[in-house]
Amino acid sequence: MSTADQLKRGLIALGLVLDNETQQRLLDYIALIEKWNRVYNLTAIREPEKIVSHHLLDSLAVAPHLHAKCLLDVGSGAGLPGIPLALANPEMQVTLLDSNHKKIAFLNQAVMELKLKNAKVSAERVESWQTQNRFDVIISRAFSEMSEFVRITRHLLAPGGMFAAMKGLHPYEEIDKLPSDCKVRQVLPLAIPGLEGARHLALIGLDWQAG
């Protein structure tokens, strides 16, 4: 099966409708990852079909559960999940944040080549980064434990916003360690086409009155 067919079938399984142009840009993104992987260690996964399932579809699986005007992807790395989410939802403004300069170079190139007008790149450490505009969704994918994720990003969350933590197994222990003003709204099981093993999305809000 070609990566194009794999992507098309995966989108159907996820219930996502993306036009042909967007699907092609997602495939162009995969090609860009493959190209840069020969020089930079962006991801340990090298096979195109695994990049589709383990990175692309894994990132896109959260799209139906996020309703954000401004999204921050913390520890974006190779642009996951931020770039697939930006491609899938052109109305959403996405900021890709990372402190690794090689990965920042890739992110800048990807945003330029993919003509992503709704994405921008910031080369900063999240705990010390300040911005006037706060985000209604802050997402991380295998970035850190949830309590640490909340601790170092909470100054960037808009009132009423939420943290979105992408996890493997249901994060029972991590939930128990969350600060008392954190309220877990949902922990959603995700089925990723072509990816074995558990995947979950934890959506966490803050009790602003408690602060």
Looking at 3.40.50.2300, 2.80.10.50, 3.30.390.30, 3.40.50.150, the CATH number of the domain 3-206 comes to 3.40.50.150
Provide the residue-wise pLDDT of the chain in tens; the chain has 211 residues.
899 999 999 999 999 999 999 999 999 999 999 999 888 878 878 788 889 999 999 999 999 999 899 999 999 999 999 999 999 999 999 999 999 999 999 999 999 999 999 999 999 999 999 998 999 999 999 778 999 999 999 999 999 999 999 999 999 999 999 999 999 999 999 999 999 889 999 999 998 654 4
pTM: predicted TM-score of the whole model, two decimal places: 0.95
Residue spans of the domains in the chain: they are 3-206
Q: How far apart are CA 122 and CA 107, in angstroms?
A: 9
Which residue from 206, 64, 100 is spatially nearest to 149, judged by alpha carbons?
Answer: 206
